[in-house]
A and B are shown apart, each in its own frame.
Chain A
């Protein structure tokens, strides 16, 4: 007979399965460096492939390149910043914000005030965006000290509408109905005047931000916040000042989002208030659901899928269109709607069948294939 008391304590819960033994980890280390080197090489070579539409001299068709251009890749990198910073907030504070587009607007406003109005250098206006974002983040985080869950989500929604109103007032007062125009960004004598240059400017920023988020999640403060998320009382009784930590997380997350907003504004050269719709905020949430909530990788994967899938679909629909399929016709005529339909369904299906998103599903798969492998 099995004793109930002992077997209950041994009840396994998937998520907390013991990690791989240490020696296996050590063995995996050289392999890991190899993978990193390969990834770095791919990231560096990728823009040239997209720019020349060729790989090692072989010309590639649009379809072979998944219909993706360099400009899309750059916008994706910016979106990665948005998704990763939102996921950082969700991951470490357990809070989801419907106001993430508002921080993009804050960044764009800070950049407009410093870069377009005062004529300060590009890098200075990026720093201004970071600072403005952090400050706005602390303000946005204040309600989280008082209200939880649903009410907090709503407070971020209220924040969204307030910031967007401020943006439109600012835009109409200082610029015109067509939007805010940004000067040509340049770093000292180097002008960011091509997609290729932008790529190599954005890539290190994105990598750095991801590493910073990852570091914060995995180290002291992140762990403390995770403890807060899982058990508030335990954490506060262990002497952690939950409130300060949460505000810090907020400031950090929104500073990155604000930076992304400034970068996006400069990249697009003109932005108008319509850009910062509730849909933009929702798209960031959708990204982290698709990628996987709470992890940096989830943010990256989600942003990649969100920005690249539409063009991939367009490419395939173009091919199919020649064959004259009725579905392809609908796609050509209603491209954004079909894309939204697919995304909406994807989010719903993932929520129901794979709540961990693509990254979570992939981890489960690797566990199935190689039990004991590092997740």
Chain B
């Protein structure tokens, strides 16, 4: 059983890691602690529902449409909600992301109704049996895709000009402006990437479970994941996400599904008290 839980946890944790990575990108770009990351993930599940079930698009086309829509959503959010508050203290910015999550949730429920929707993509749904261990192909695909996305993500930041400018902006806003970087455009880009990563996670979670706004709760686990990993650290976000996935599986497997939250939020609390900068964070930078 332990192996089973660990493997499932690893697979789900990879998805959380992806969502958390999106969160970390937004945080690093403009220090926005995005409480709407959970609902952005939910948007992914519903975008998939629209693209496949409602529009009946072939799967590869649907994927492109979903990603393009996610990028657009991120850019619009940055323009409408975040840019007007740029330079404001922490609290109002947190609040506006909370307001954003209320708005998005309401919009989804108005557009799609409150009943959960089943997703029917052409992702494999069989079960892989390896000895005692049963592994859903969907989970496995999710994990693989998550890792590929992370790889693409790192390549983007390491090897492209846009990636370089994003890293520079995250490093110092002022120096970036004075180097002629259009910081607004960079921040919009960060939101586009952050949203795309959340949405990809949402497509998988919507498929593993059902597309519903209840998934927001799972998406919000990206927050403890990122903080446990270290707010400033990109690898930290991924490791934190995987850790949260494994803890979740172990807690719900051995104790009860209800116990999940406590076993994630108690380590978060301990981490905040003992090592607020997280597992991988930098002590100096950790003082927010």
Question: Do A and B touch (CB < 8 Å)?
Answer: yes
Q: Mark B249-269, 1 if CB is under 8 A from A, else 0.
A: 000000000110110111011
Instruction: Say if the beta carbon of B107 comes within 8 Å of chain A.
Output: yes
Size class of the contact patch on chain A: 35 or more
Partner of B269, one of A159, A168, A341, A352: A159
Given contacts A154-B223, A337-B110, contact A352 B98 (CB under 8 A): no
Contact A348–B110 (Cβ < 8 Å): no
Partner of A343, one of B102, B258, B287: B102
The interface-forming segment of B43-51, B83-91, B169-177, B178-186 is B83-91
Q: Which residues of A contact B105 (CB under 8 A)?
A: 340
Contact A161–B99 (Cβ < 8 Å): no
Given contacts A168-B258, A341-B110, A351-B95, contact A147 B276 (CB under 8 A): yes
Instruction: Say if the beta carbon of A312 comes within 8 Å of chain B.
Output: no
- Chain B residue, CB-CB nearest to A355: B92
Partner of A341, one of B85, B103, B223, B268: B103
Q: Which residues of B contact A345 (CB under 8 A)?
A: 99, 103
Size class of the contact patch on chain B: 35 or more
Contact B110–A338 (Cβ < 8 Å): yes
Given contacts A143-B269, A147-B272, A348-B96, contact A340 B102 (CB under 8 A): yes
Given contacts A153-B94, A348-B96, A351-B95, contact A158 B272 (CB under 8 A): yes
Cα A168 to Cα B92 in complex, Å, equals 32
Cα A136 to Cα B266 in complex, Å, equals 16
B-contacting residues, A152-179, CB 8 Å: 153-155, 157-159, 161-162, 164-165, 168
Q: Which residues of B contact A348 (CB under 8 A)?
A: 81, 96, 99-100, 103
B-contacting residues, A82-141, CB 8 Å: 96
- Chain B residue, CB-CB nearest to A150: B288
- Chain A residue, CB-CB nearest to B220: A278
- Chain A residue, CB-CB nearest to B91: A96
Q: Which residues of B contact A223 (CB under 8 A)?
A: none
Partner of A162, one of B33, B96, B224, B262: B262
Instruction: Say if the beta carbon of A44 comes within 8 Å of chain B.
Output: no
Q: Which residues of B contact A96 (CB under 8 A)?
A: 91, 94
Instruction: Say if the beta carbon of B227 comes within 8 Å of chain A.
Output: yes
Q: Which residues of B contact A275 (CB under 8 A)?
A: none
Shortest C-beta distance, B85 to chain A (Å), equals: 6
Q: Which residues of A contact B265 (CB under 8 A)?
A: 157-158, 161-162
The interface-forming segment of A11-19, A205-213, A258-266, A281-289 is A281-289
Q: Which residues of A contact B95 (CB under 8 A)?
A: 285, 289, 347, 351
Shortest C-beta distance, A215 to chain B (Å), equals: 25
A-contacting residues, B203-242, CB 8 Å: 217, 220, 223-224, 227, 231
Cα A352 to Cα B100 in complex, Å, equals 13
Contact A340–B90 (Cβ < 8 Å): no
Shortest C-beta distance, A277 to chain B (Å), equals: 9
- Chain A residue, CB-CB nearest to B101: A344
- Chain A residue, CB-CB nearest to B80: A348
Contact A165–B262 (Cβ < 8 Å): yes
Cα A146 to Cα B274 in complex, Å, equals 9
Instruction: Say if the beta carbon of A149 comes within 8 Å of chain B.
Output: yes
- Chain A residue, CB-CB nearest to B89: A149
- Chain B residue, CB-CB nearest to A293: B91
Q: Which residues of B contact A341 (CB under 8 A)?
A: 102-103, 106-107, 110
Instruction: Say if the beta carbon of A51 comes within 8 Å of chain B.
Output: no
Instruction: Say if the beta carbon of A197 comes within 8 Å of chain B.
Output: no
Q: Which residues of B contact A150 (CB under 8 A)?
A: 33, 90, 94, 231, 288
Instruction: Say if the beta carbon of A148 comes within 8 Å of chain B.
Output: yes
Instruction: Say if the beta carbon of B285 comes within 8 Å of chain A.
Output: no
Shortest C-beta distance, A288 to chain B (Å), equals: 9
Contact A347–B109 (Cβ < 8 Å): no
Q: Mark B51-90, 1 if CB is under 8 A from A, else 0.
A: 0000000000000000000000000000001001100101
Contact A282–B85 (Cβ < 8 Å): no
Of the A-B pairs whose beta carbons lie under 8 Å apart in the complex, a sample of 29, sorted by A's number, is: A149-B288, A150-B33, A150-B90, A150-B94, A150-B288, A151-B276, A153-B94, A154-B227, A154-B268, A154-B272, A157-B265, A158-B266, A168-B258, A278-B220, A286-B102, A334-B109, A334-B110, A337-B106, A337-B114, A338-B106, A338-B110, A341-B106, A343-B102, A344-B100, A351-B92, A351-B95, A351-B99, A352-B84, A352-B85
- Give B contacts to A, CB under 8 Å: 33, 81, 84-85, 88, 90-92, 94-96, 98-103, 105-107, 109-110, 114, 217, 220, 223-224, 227, 231, 258-259, 261-262, 264-266, 268-269, 272-273, 276, 287-288
- Give A contacts to B, CB under 8 Å: 96, 143, 146-151, 153-155, 157-159, 161-162, 164-165, 168, 278, 282, 285-286, 289, 330, 334, 337-338, 340-341, 343-345, 347-348, 351-352, 355
Task: Give 7 nearest A-B pairs by CB, closest first.
Answer: A344-B102, A344-B103, A341-B106, A347-B99, A340-B106, A158-B265, A158-B269
Sample of 4 more A-B contacts, CB < 8 Å, known A162-B262, A162-B269, A165-B262 = A143-B272, A340-B102, A340-B105, A352-B96
